[in-house]
């Protein structure tokens, strides 16, 4: 297969030519042990095929999401059993998790041909080395974490779609672990008071956690350093715990901003009493590319009632609770602390459905007349594209890579 690249200022068009004029899109099978999602489900494959695109799906790619190969064939996809062929002969490769090292010791990135396009979660701020590896292969890479949080990009916002699943599942995990009912019950044996749930962080995951806990009948309080989310919290029936800070708390894109040590101290003083009085605490605060802020100290945990539960959704970034052990459930001073990893993957059917929609929405923006048009004047493409034409395009990723390299030299 050959391809043509025509470039003007802030624009590149990649048109793929073979015996026919088509673009080949491939779906890789995830090799990360805990990853059960798949990049495209059969429904979205069918839509792409109807648009005249060729779709390859690696054999078994959808099995852990309960989509068998036969469903993909029925949708018009071609099943490819050779992963080397799939990675090496595709134009656009779609994944969920960042590329990994294979059992044979090779990196998945090394299987991509030069000039190919990779769209996936890439964690470029947390692991910027991946950007350099992509540059070395001259791969055009779009990171789903860097889709801007704007109205126009909502249908492509995979962080939000997956965070909603995590918030929902966190409450179910907490309810299963709590040795109490969630709702208030009036029975012949007496009245049972509802559980008290405290949600820390009112982003997408936090808001879904609030809504789910309320549906289960709990009394819910929520805290966030961003005062702008107060109305959203209250609209879901929860009480907003407000901490007035004398600094900006909202970063670009609406995300929470890392705050000063003085503000962190002030925050901990206010929330400590709410943590103490809660049956369940769910923490969701994360800062892209940074270690998660500690919101629940060991001293706070020590004051909680025995049998209480903490579910820490920031466990993968070190945890919002000082006692969290990522990937494990522990009991500390009578309090159960759960640090789940990759919660969206535990709901692979709907997680894959939502992620598929995110990817296809992005593809609709990128593909025009069977050609991939990388238009950097488009704010979504410009923000998400981290590598192109042998260069790192994103300044934050460049800075993260420089910091990582400097740290390695010091070590």
pLDDT in tens, 212-270: 999 999 999 999 988 889 999 999 999 999 887 665 555 555 555 566 677 777 788 88
Per-residue pLDDT tens over the stretch 392-405: 999 999 999 998 87
Element (H, E) at 79: strand 78-80
CA torsion 238→156→256→123, rounded to 10°?
A: 130
Give the model's pLDDT for residue 411.
Answer: 54
Give the model's pLDDT for residue 243.
Answer: 82
* Kind of pairing between the strands at 385-388 and 219-223: unpaired
**Closest of 297, 300, 290 to residue 322, by C-alpha:** 297
pLDDT of 76 > 80? The answer is: yes
**Closest of 280, 290, 331, 333 to residue 314, by C-alpha:** 290
Q: How far is CA 328 from the centre of its chain?
A: 20
Letter string b/e over residues 5-14, b meaning 16 or more CB atoms within 10 A of that residue's CB: eeeeeeebbb
Can you tell me the mean pLDDT for 342-353?
98
pLDDT of 273 > 90? The answer is: yes
Distance CA 304, CA 339 (A): 17
Indicate which residues carry an active-site annotation.
149, 154, 157, 160, 255
Q: Helix 395-410 and helix 129-136: axis angle, to 10°?
A: 110
Q: Give the number of C-alpha atoms closer than 13 A to the C-alpha of residue 174, restricted to the C-beta side.
A: 30
Can you tell me the mean pLDDT for 363-368?
93
Distance CA 268, CA 277 (A): 14
Between residues 17 and 344, the one the model is more confident about: 344
Bridge partners, 265 (sequence order): none
Helices and strands in the chain: count of H runs, count of E runs:
12, 21
Three-state DSSP at 375 gives strand
- Are 197 and 280 spatial neighbours (Cβ–Cβ below 8 Å)? yes
Can you tell me the mean pLDDT for 282-291?
89
Distance CA 87, CA 82 (A): 9
Q: How far is CA 213 from the centre of its chain?
A: 22
Give the E-state strand segments of 44-167 in sequence order. 54-58, 78-80, 92-94, 117-120, 140-143
Per-residue pLDDT tens over the stretch 207-219: 999 999 999 999 9
Look at 171-175, 289-293, 299-303, 387-391 and tell me which has the smallest mean pLDDT. Answer: 289-293
- Are 273 and 280 spatial neighbours (Cβ–Cβ below 8 Å)? no
pLDDT of 408 > 80? The answer is: no
- The pTM assigned to this predicted structure is 0.90
Measured from the Cβ of residue 299, the count of other Cβ atoms closer than 10 Å reads 12
pLDDT of 125 > 90? The answer is: yes
Per-residue pLDDT tens over the stretch 21-66: 568 999 999 999 999 999 999 999 999 999 999 999 999 999 999 9
Q: How far is CA 318 from the centre of its chain?
A: 16
Element (H, E) at 80: strand 78-80
H helices of 217-314, in order, are 230-235, 261-276, 298-303
Number of residues written out for the chain: 411
Distance CA 243, CA 227 (A): 8
Three-state DSSP at 272 gives helix
At residue 56's C-alpha, the angle toward residues 53 and 57, to 5°, is 135
Give the model's pLDDT for residue 265.
Answer: 79
Q: Which single residue is written with the structure tokens 């991509």?
A: 112
Give the E-state strand segments of 106-181 in sequence order. 117-120, 140-143
Give the model's pLDDT for residue 15.
Answer: 43
């Amino acid at each position: 297969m050959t391809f043509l690249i025509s470039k003007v200022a802030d624009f590149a068009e990649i048109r793929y030519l073979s015996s026919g004029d088509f673009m080949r899109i491939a779906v890789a099978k995830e090799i990360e042990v805990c990853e059960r999602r798949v990049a495209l489900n059969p429904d979205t494959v069918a839509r792409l095929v109807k648009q005249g695109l060729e779709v390859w799906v690696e054999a078994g790619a959808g099995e852990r999401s309960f989509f068998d190969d036969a469903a993909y064939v029925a949708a018009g996809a071609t099943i490819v059993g050779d992963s080397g062929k799939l990675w090496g002969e595709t134009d656009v490769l779609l994944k969920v998790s960042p590329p990994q090292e294979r059992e044979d010791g090779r990196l998945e990135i090394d299987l991509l041909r030069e000039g190919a396009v990779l769209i996936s979660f890439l964690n470029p701020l947390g692991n910027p080395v991946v950007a350099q590896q992509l540059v070395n292969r001259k791969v055009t890479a779009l990171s789903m974490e860097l889709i801007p949080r704007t109205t126009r990009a909502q249908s492509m916002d995979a962080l939000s779609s997956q965070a909603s699943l995590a918030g929902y599942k966190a409450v179910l995990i907490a309810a299963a672990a709590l040795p109490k009912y969630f709702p208030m019950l009036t029975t012949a044996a007496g009245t049972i008071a509802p559980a008290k749930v405290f949600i820390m962080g009112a982003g997408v995951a936090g808001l879904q956690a609030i809504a789910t806990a309320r549906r289960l009948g709990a009394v819910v309080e929520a805290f966030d350093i961003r005062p702008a989310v107060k109305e959203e919290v209250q609209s879901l029936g929860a009480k907003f715990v407000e901490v007035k800070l004398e600094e900006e708390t909202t970063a670009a894109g609406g995300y929470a901003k890392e705050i000063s040590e003085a503000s962190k101290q002030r925050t901990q003083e206010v929330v400590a009493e709410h943590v103490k009085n809660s049956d369940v605490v769910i923490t969701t605060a994360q800062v892209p590319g940074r270690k998660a802020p500690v919101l629940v100290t060991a001293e706070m945990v020590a004051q909680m009632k025995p049998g209480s539960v903490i579910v820490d959704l920031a466990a993968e970034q070190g945890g919002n609770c000082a006692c969290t052990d990522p990937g494990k459930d522990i009991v500390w001073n009578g309090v159960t602390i759960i640090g789940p990893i990759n919660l969206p993957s535990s709901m692979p059917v709907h997680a894959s459905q939502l992620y598929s929609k995110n990817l296809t929405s992005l593809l609709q923006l990128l593909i025009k007349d069977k050609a991939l048009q990388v238009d950097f004047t488009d704010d979504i493409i410009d923000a998400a594209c981290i590598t192109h034409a042998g260069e790192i395009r994103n300044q934050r990723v460049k800075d993260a890579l420089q910091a990582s390299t400097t740290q390695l030299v010091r070590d």
